[in-house]
Amino acid sequence: LQRHDGAIDITEGSDLITVSFNHVYNHDKTHLVGNNDLNNLGPGDIGKLRVTFYGNHWVNTKERSPRLRFGINHVYNNYYEGTLAAPNTLVYYFGMGINSTIISEANAFEIDVKTLNSTAAANYVVGQYKGHVFSDRKSVVNGGYPDLEAVAKAKYDTAKAAEVKAAAAAGRPVAEWATYEFSDKVPKIPYEYDVKKAEDVKKYVKKNAGHKNYKWSK
């Protein structure tokens, strides 16, 4: 499947959703969570868009896995396979959007493993789109455990500095999103769940994600 926008988008005040055991491949913008920065469609997104992504397998997706605005996304025990080669050139996986909170936990990322070390590959895990809250707990990237929170903070701080400079040059107030400090402080997950070690995720997800692995009930 290839469309301009998402394979699975979650918008217009949707809430309390789990996206699990999907196999998404060769797609551009996969999962948009939240309509736009203005929050002006449907019943509104603020206080909603609480979404869990678990056990999914993304292969050669370019961006938005997921890309979030306003809500809280718990993204754990997923397996990502990406490449910087055309036509499926990876842009980022986690899109930190305005007023969003992304809680990443024990995910497994493989991005051009033959040519990129863990530190270089980590730069492609997080994308900055006016978001300032992100945490990661023991995700593995190309066989290593880089500091993804440091990557997220560096990208937010760079975007914030650019906005402050642009506002000063234009004689206007700084946009609200750029008035915050980066934070890795996230709310407690409000449900019970078991987390597999990141090094075990690849095998588990490949065995269980996608329609070919679904156990149909008779």
Which residues on adjacent β-strands are paired with residue 97?
A: 129, 130
Q: How many CA atoms lie within 13 A of 16 on its CB side?
A: 2
Distances (CA, A) of 184 to 48, 99, 101, 127, 153: 20, 13, 9, 15, 9
Residues tagged active-site: 64
Q: Is 89 helix (H, G, I), strand (E, B) or coil?
A: strand
Q: Which amino acid is at 173?
A: P
Residues 6+ apart with CB under 8 A from 21: 54, 55, 56, 208, 209, 210, 213, 214
Locus of tokens 């992504």: 53
Q: Cα 56 from chain centroid?
A: 12
Please say whether the beta carbons of 128 and 162 come within 8 A: no
